[in-house]
Structure 1
């Protein structure tokens, strides 16, 4: 596993986030904040939620380890592809037929007129899930070949497609703009699919898929055990990958009982917290996962430890440095990004406090994601799901305990506490010996030095800024 794979994935995520920020700015200026923007966000919410839970997390973590150990990989891959795709197409048709009841479920506060307006858009946007599943399936095959650039940068195509729609239809009625955005979502998914199909052919993986189609009927009994193994792993993975979404929903619900603006403080601070987590932890785990799965399958545990050790200290340095910068410069970061228009000085101060509480959990969440790869690679998805559920329980408990004395910052701190619990339980599950072995690496001093330099540089910058203003 090369560090280039990590930085390639990280660069792709950063590029996508930049275009996403441009998209949000254009959407705010062209569409505004009104019933039409609410309708679009509701329409896109359901496929985006399923994408995050099933496609990006649960599927890859279940499919890839089983694919690696399968004796009939091509047949197994095609069998899984057909099952999932037919199920998603059937689901999309049902959503189209019953669009209004589905819309009422995901937008409880909408009136009848708003539900009727949103229902067609809900039906259109749901087909994005079909496309993005195919993209995720193909990206899993590319990950097996340790190719990450296509998937990393391909996610930008969705934002580019939506930006194009906003620019082309910027002078139209809002009702027309939201339809243009919905079709742009499908166009973005189709562009990602075409890009992945092109790379699959370039990498010679198209022959694997064709072979799977040819021999599917003849060898379907031979892969029954692989299908069962995948099924046993998939549903626990769904639980493990949905806890973050459940936690976010609960935080939003609890924050609705606090003073006005609390939900926004949590939203903006969490957006900043998620950036280094995605750039470093998610990028590293995505790049490392295929390597760890292959090495453990070949019983090369020592080499798997060595690869994990290198990435561990790289993550420690990057996440530790990001934490130091974010804590020291929290107010300056929030002011630079958000303080304009209706977002005032008081909002900056409140959001920066919430950000500091979230950042306390950046390191444990990132490192826990790294060690959880061992559980998924060893087909211990059920254990990983149990750990995630316990972490969620801790989050809910401390959210209830801290909401009264600390308000919104208490909810963010509860999330960080659950992150430390998640890290401790994950390390305990994979083995303390592995953790201690990694801690004694030669990279430790370099990582600690990097974090210290980041903290000193941030403190110096803060002093300069305070002195200037």
Structure 2
């Protein structure tokens, strides 16, 4: 299990490093101007759909339904042909009515800017077509307990964008935006090819091709499986949308604060997301197919055994990340961002926001683990309701805390909402099962290690403050 977690974590880390290089090159070559705004707007639309739809809701609903189906290949092909057709039609509509869709995501743009950005919006949106194919094949690879291709293929998009920036660095700004937009499609295509190759190697592709023969006549066989999938899929969309709504709310509220508040939230959240992705998301991704299969076989004891091992691993590593991040928040922000126009005051403000975000790292991370139990048991609707409770908490606390703590208050509201999310998830998972997991000598050992780490970090921080 830990080999799969390490594979996911290393792939995410590799991609994040390339993403950081991409951001540096974009800022250096394209700059911060109307052309960079146009590209970010153009890429925002497919990226938003990817986060809500493809990477979250689809996999969480598809994999448990696929495992439960008696006609797996026919069910998989039925889902693929339906979804890909809808996404392709939607992409064509975006191309035809690109100014309208551009206006939807860039309300502040005037008519001239909308006309400039519209062609790039149309180009970038086809990335979603590729990424759906990638997500679909990735789910099938997960079922085969293969994670490396998906973990590392994400870097192909960043490599493609980096190449376009280097090759067109001396071109006109509009040409650079065009090159980057095409690079997005090339990156998506390369991700698709890598998954297609592995699907062929693991004999997945052959089975899908066989399933398409006589598909119309056989499609009724999996009608019940499809209904169960759709029943779970739409609530899963709602559940995965809450994080995006929360991020939008923070940005909107921060726009009423002093200049730079939006940036403090953005940079702090970038740091916060790293341990969350490296450890919590990587662990949940690796564990999801295993737990789903055990639950399908009604082997709950084995499923809980894997959950227990993962729980203590995540608790330890996320606790270390939380303590280390809060103790050294100022130093982390200084090292990563304080250069050029990013002043020492910006470092202080961003580190305060980062500390507030990190308070919620452990509950958000552990929720990734326990929510997969709900998904594996086809409880996507309940998970969506829990996410809604968390969102409501976040909205109410954001409106209150912004008056006292400014941007840091928005981050603290998000962290408290994370505790609400975790508590309700544990309640649905089962308090007794949760107590069985945590009732072990490991808890005492973990506490001792965290105390030692706190003392170590205290002296490290003192040394840094004294000599750096």
TM-score bracket for this pair, using the shorter chain length: over 0.9
What corresponds to 1:210 in structure 2?
Answer: 209
What corresponds to 1:145 in structure 2?
Answer: 144
* 1:250 equivalenced with 2:249 (yes/no): yes
Flag the 1:450–1:184 CA change in 2: closer, same or farther, 3 A.
Answer: farther
For 1:208 and 1:41, the matched residues in 2 are separated by 39
Please give the per-residue CA displacement for 1:75-111, whole angstroms capped at 9, x wherever unaligned.
Answer: 0000000000000000000000000011111100111
Matches within 5 A, 1:217-232: 217-232=216-231
For 1:56 and 1:230, the matched residues in 2 are separated by 16
What corresponds to 2:100 in structure 1?
Answer: 101
For 1:445 and 1:214, the matched residues in 2 are separated by 58
SS of alignment partner, residue 221 of structure 1: helix
Across the aligned residues of Structure 1 and Structure 2, the Cα RMSD in angstroms comes to 0.9
Matches within 5 A, 1:317-356: 317-356=316-355
What corresponds to 2:115 in structure 1?
Answer: 116
Between 208-217 and 289-298, the greater mean CA deviation after superposition: 208-217
* 1:62 equivalenced with 2:61 (yes/no): yes
**8 A contact 1:314–1:447 mirrored in 2:** no
Deviation at 1:212, TM superposition (A): 1.4
Matches within 5 A, 1:30-429: 30-429=29-428
* TM-score under structure 2 length normalisation: 0.99
SS of alignment partner, residue 221 of structure 2: coil
Runs of 4+ in 1 over 6 A off after TM superposition: none
Between 443-452 and 161-170, the greater mean CA deviation after superposition: 443-452
SS of alignment partner, residue 71 of structure 1: coil
Deviation at 1:219, TM superposition (A): 2.0
**8 A contact 1:309–1:441 mirrored in 2:** no
**8 A contact 1:317–1:448 mirrored in 2:** no
Deviation at 1:446, TM superposition (A): 4.1
For 1:164 and 1:448, the matched residues in 2 are separated by 47
Deviation at 1:57, TM superposition (A): 0.4
For 1:206 and 1:9, the matched residues in 2 are separated by 23
For 1:395 and 1:373, the matched residues in 2 are separated by 22
Deviation at 1:215, TM superposition (A): 4.5
Deviation at 1:216, TM superposition (A): 2.1
SS of alignment partner, residue 342 of structure 1: coil
What corresponds to 1:3 in structure 2?
Answer: 2
Deviation at 1:396, TM superposition (A): 0.3
**8 A contact 1:358–1:416 mirrored in 2:** yes
Between 223-232 and 196-205, the greater mean CA deviation after superposition: 196-205
Deviation at 1:456, TM superposition (A): 2.7
Deviation at 1:256, TM superposition (A): 0.7
For 2:442 and 2:218, the matched residues in 1 are separated by 48
Deviation at 1:47, TM superposition (A): 0.1
What corresponds to 1:25 in structure 2?
Answer: 24
Deviation at 1:62, TM superposition (A): 0.2
Deviation at 1:211, TM superposition (A): 2.1
For 1:382 and 1:58, the matched residues in 2 are separated by 11
For 2:457 and 2:16, the matched residues in 1 are separated by 23
What corresponds to 1:15 in structure 2?
Answer: 14
**8 A contact 1:362–1:416 mirrored in 2:** yes
For 1:283 and 1:155, the matched residues in 2 are separated by 13
SS of alignment partner, residue 161 of structure 2: helix
SS of alignment partner, residue 223 of structure 1: helix
For 1:450 and 1:161, the matched residues in 2 are separated by 42
Deviation at 1:459, TM superposition (A): 1.8
SS of alignment partner, residue 81 of structure 1: helix
For 1:449 and 1:214, the matched residues in 2 are separated by 61
For 1:218 and 1:114, the matched residues in 2 are separated by 50
For 1:186 and 1:453, the matched residues in 2 are separated by 49
Deviation at 1:229, TM superposition (A): 0.3
Q: Which 5+ residue runs of structure 1 have no aligned equivalent?
A: none
**8 A contact 1:321–1:450 mirrored in 2:** no
